[in-house]
Structure 1
């Protein structure tokens, strides 16, 4: 399973960063970066939470 972001939809609210700061990072220009797109098996629930809490639905699990 992988997590991705639609940068056209992302508003850099940072909710995902608060959920998993080791996975998601906002740079100085408020662009979201994903440190590791492959979701470890033990963190699927955490990534699902980040996806469902994104106010712009910019995150996707594939």
Structure 2
């Protein structure tokens, strides 16, 4: 699994960070950072929930 955030789509709602704080961080300048773009199997469901919670579909998941 590869996790990315499209900065052109992201509006920094922070729902990804709420869904998976171990994978995403909303910075002071309203920029989302992916903390782990290749999450361990036990975090992959959280990554999928974060992607599903994004209102702009900025969080993208590429499955292996």
Say yes or no: TM over 0.5.
yes
Unpaired segments of 5 or more residues in structure 1?
none
Residue 26 (structure 1) shift: 1.1
Structure 1 vs Structure 2 CA RMSD: 0.8
Q: 1:1-62 alignment to 2 at 5 Å?
A: 1-62=1-62
Q: How many residues align?
A: 62
**Contact 2:23–2:47, Cα closer than 8 Å, also in 1:** no
TM-score of the superposition, structure 2-length normalised?
0.89
- The alignment partner of 1:4 has SS state of strand
How far 1:47 moved relative to its partner?
0.8
Structure 2 residue ranges without an equivalent (≥5): none
Separation in 2, partners of 1:21, 1:57 = 18
**DSSP-derived class of the 1:60 partner:** strand
CA distance in 2: counterparts of 1:22 and 1:46, whole angstroms:
9
